[in-house]
Structures are given as structure tokens and as C-alpha cells.
Structure 1
């Protein structure tokens, strides 16, 4: 969520403006940013898209692999 907050701040967008851009209500955005909720993936993707971002899946570095 830190990356989401950073992206919003970099663009100078308030939570209320992000609500308008993403369709995700401001209280939900606030709870996401404070860690009070575990948002659904589709909600995260809506917010990220409004910020011009996307989610990327990368492999974990696992040093115990055989």
C-alpha cells in the first residue's frame, strides 16, 4: 500500500479525487491506505489504473530451492 500512497502523492491527487477517477469510494481508499482492510484484487486494480499503474507478479527469491 505504500507504493499506492506514493503514486497518489506523486500525482498530487487527493483521496476524494482518486474516488472520482477510480470509482472506488474515498472511505475505502482511506482504509486501504491505513491497512484497516484487505481490499479485493479488483478494487486495488481500479485504484492503480486510475493512477496509471498496474500490478505485476514477480517470483519470490527463495534461497531454499533445490
Structure 2
């Protein structure tokens, strides 16, 4: 990433100085999970309201997850992913 001459550091440099590696990994995982959820919903042409009906998770909760204003818990993720034809898996790194 390019340096911002106004502050002299790239976002990656600032991020690694401010946050611990664990916090960065958690944030990256959350972004990836939410991104996949949004992509799967949109690929299927499903609205948040339709996903609510299919999953039992309310539309406002889905909206907060997709905006990133709340962190998803595992039970909510599994409820949302199942009707989208997805599942949460742990795989070797």
C-alpha cells in the first residue's frame, strides 16, 4: 500500500503499530466472513428480508452484521449461511 504523504505512513504500518497481531487477525476474519455472507446473499438474489424468513434471523440483525456494526456469533452465522448453501468450516492453515 502506498504511503500517505500527509501522515508519512501506510495504513498497514499504522494498523500494525496500533493493533496486536491477534486483533488484526480477528478483524480480517470478521471482514472475510461478512463479505462472504453478503456475496452469497447477493449471488442468490436474496434480500435481507427474504434471508430473515429463510433463517429466522431478523432483518435488522442481518443489516447490522452486513454493515459491520456488530460482530457475528457462530450460531447466527450458521443460521444465515445454511439457506445460502454455505457452511462454516475450520480447515488447516
Q: 2:72 aligns with which of 39, 42, 46?
A: 39
Q: Which has the larger radius of gyration?
A: 2
Number of corresponding residues = 60
Unpaired segments ≥5 residues, structure 2:
1-33
TM-score, scaled relative to structure 2:
0.62
Choose between structure 1 and 2 for higher RCO, CA contacts under 8 A separated by at least 6 residues.
1
Q: TM-score, normalised by structure 1?
A: 0.85
